[in-house]
Structure 1
Amino acid sequence: MADETKKIPYILNGGIFKIKKRKGDRVIVKCVYCPSQHRLRGNLANGTGNFHQHIKRRHPFLIDKVTKMKKDKKEKVAAAKIAKRRRKLSFDDDKSQESDGEDSSYDMFNLDKAFITELEDGLRLMQEGNEKNLLKL
């Protein structure tokens, strides 16, 4: 069952491809845009290049949709990192206030600093991702 808990790549979330069979890292998927019963095989451990190639060759009109899905996924990951860091800073600051009695302006400064750092990291990732996509297309 440990194999079944591995995260599914954004491209296989059901919007373009639906997973028909899964055994470990190996998957067999069906493209929802193909009228035939043609199935694609892939290995989650090796990446999703064959699924991207299918889209580029057979359904070039979906490239923008895949790009948007990728961008949304990166934004979601960046937001999760920000939230995690904020929770950690908030928890650490609560501990320090209990022992030192510092005022809350210090806490807000730390949260704002963490937010800015994560926002910069997220924007850098998005920019790098866009450059990478431009080169591929």
Structure 2
Amino acid sequence: MYNASTNPALGVFIYRNAVGTGNLALFNLQLQWNYSALGLVFNDVAQLQVFAIEMVYVPQGVSTWGPAELRADPSPTAPGFQGPPFQGIAAEDAITVGTGAGNLWVTTPPVGCSYATVPTGTLAAAFPKGYAAFLHEV
């Protein structure tokens, strides 16, 4: 959020008024700027820079983790969740990481780790898992 002393940057988010695809053409776009909030007066000269970041909105929905070719693997060692069938993430609830059935686990530990050193525990509910809607920079 804007704060003259700690965050003097300003921004604007421009988006479609309906679901759509393709280029977005805007004509006669006008923005109002409360420059007096920055201590500027009408005759002051200010240098402005405009940067565009293309964003997409990803709606809420089930996300799946792991390689696509293994998502249907019924074996209990399929990457992702232990036990058949491979499960998707259907909520932003906490997820248990461990070797038990229904837990998130790996079948090939990261480089430099053994199964004994792969961390277990919980992915907190606050950790983003791809289920809740979010914005993503393209």
- In proportion to residue count, which structure has more helix? 1
- Relative to the length of structure 1, the TM-score reads 0.20
- Relative to the length of structure 2, the TM-score reads 0.20
Mark the structure with the bigger radius of gyration.
2
Q: RCO (CA 8 Å, sep 6+): is it higher in 1 or 2? A: 2
